[in-house]
A and B are shown apart, each in its own frame.
Chain A
Amino acid sequence: MPTDPALGCSAGSHYYYWYPAGTPFVTLPLMIAMDWSLRVMGPIADRLGGGRLGPVWRAFAQRDYLASHLLVELALSSAIVALATLFVFLTARVYLGLAGSIALALLFAFATSAWSTASRALWQHGPAMLMLSTALYLLSLAPKQPVLLACSAAPLVLAYFIRPTESVVLVMVATYVLIHHRGQFVKWLLAAIVTATPFLIYNLVTYHRPLQTYFTLPLFLKPTPSNFPAMLTAFAGVAVSPSRGVFVFSPFLLFSLAGIGLLLRKKWMTPLWCYLAAALALHWLALSDFQL
């Protein structure tokens, strides 16, 4: 029986998808849009390209998505992260001028792992970025349009079903709504339940359990003194490791720490920023606690 998650896990005569089902579900509308475009453009490209098209490109033009799955992944993940950039820009426009917003969006798109990782293949990172940026946009608009506060539950729940560690953000925003917008909490919760239900049903039907095993794996170190050195190393590594440190590859993000200091002093966007900053810190801690 193959144990490599990338090869799926066989049980009986079937193969079961091991990674969270959120990525394929969220990407499905884009896949349908791409398929419809290729129904029109594919034959034209195939005819114009003639013998010059490589086998993968020809397969793509002929809508043979498995033979051309790398191109499909590139196109869809690029579209997903480009859409996330759109929401980063729109969120920035709520608070900043045009030039600042464009600069921030382009920094997100080209000076972070959005370009080097999330947009390169159809894994969890890109769709999670899209869901979080959408939720942030809705939360930013909510003070003027309160109905959007409840809507923010949908992308956050989707983010959880895409990548379970996004539960940190989901819980922090739920706490924020519960404490500071109690009147909206039932609506927010209803939106969350409606979004989660199809996934729970899918998991029950497919895996005979509400959550896939990926969500319940014991992946985290126990908080015992013997584990603290490893956790501290990982904590520093996430920030400044030469091979993957976030501040090594995207040093401009250091300004976000200064931004948190500024928020603290000026009490701007209070109290939402406190919950978002706490989500950031807890996420960092969760990554440091990850058992490799």
Chain B
Amino acid sequence: MRPGANAAIAFLICGFVFVVYVLSPISQSSDSFWTVPVMLSLLAEDNIIRLWTNTRSCCAKNDIKAWSVLRKNIK
């Protein structure tokens, strides 16, 4: 079997598994609650956590709006 065929089958399996996983029921976990905010803070121009203390504002409009939602949820 050619190496390209192996890779093609591997990607087909990967795609199939991804679709089934995404269609499966979601799980809520407080353990993973901060993973997305931390990723956004790494992507942001400056540390997004600074928004929390209003010392700086430098992030995208969406992020600011989302952080206010998050802040409300935590309170």
Contacts and interface: CB of A to CB of B under 8 A. Distances in A.
A65 B40 contact: yes
A70 B43 contact: no
A271 B28 CA distance: 42
A212 interface: no
A78 B1 CA distance: 29
A70 B10 contact: no
Interface in B5-19: 6, 9-11, 13-15, 17-18
A17 B10 CA distance: 35
A174 interface: no
A235 interface: no
Interface of A: 4-8, 13-15, 17-19, 21, 23-25, 27-28, 31-32, 35, 59, 62-67, 69-75, 77-79, 81-83, 85-86, 89-90, 93, 98, 102, 105-106, 109-110, 115, 117, 119-123
A55 B26 CA distance: 16
Interface string B36-58: 11111011000001001101000
A24 B29 contact: no
Given A69-B33, A82-B15, 6 more contacts: A6-B33, A21-B38, A65-B40, A65-B66, A115-B21, A123-B29
A121 B70 CA distance: 18
Contact of A63 (B14, B22, B62, B69): B62
Given A14-B53, A70-B28, A115-B24, A90 B10 contact: yes
Contacts of A105: 13
B59 to A, nearest CB: 11
Given A74-B26, A98-B9, A67 B66 contact: yes
Contact of B37 (A66, A70, A71): A66
A105 B35 CA distance: 27
Given A28-B43, A66-B69, A6 B30 contact: yes
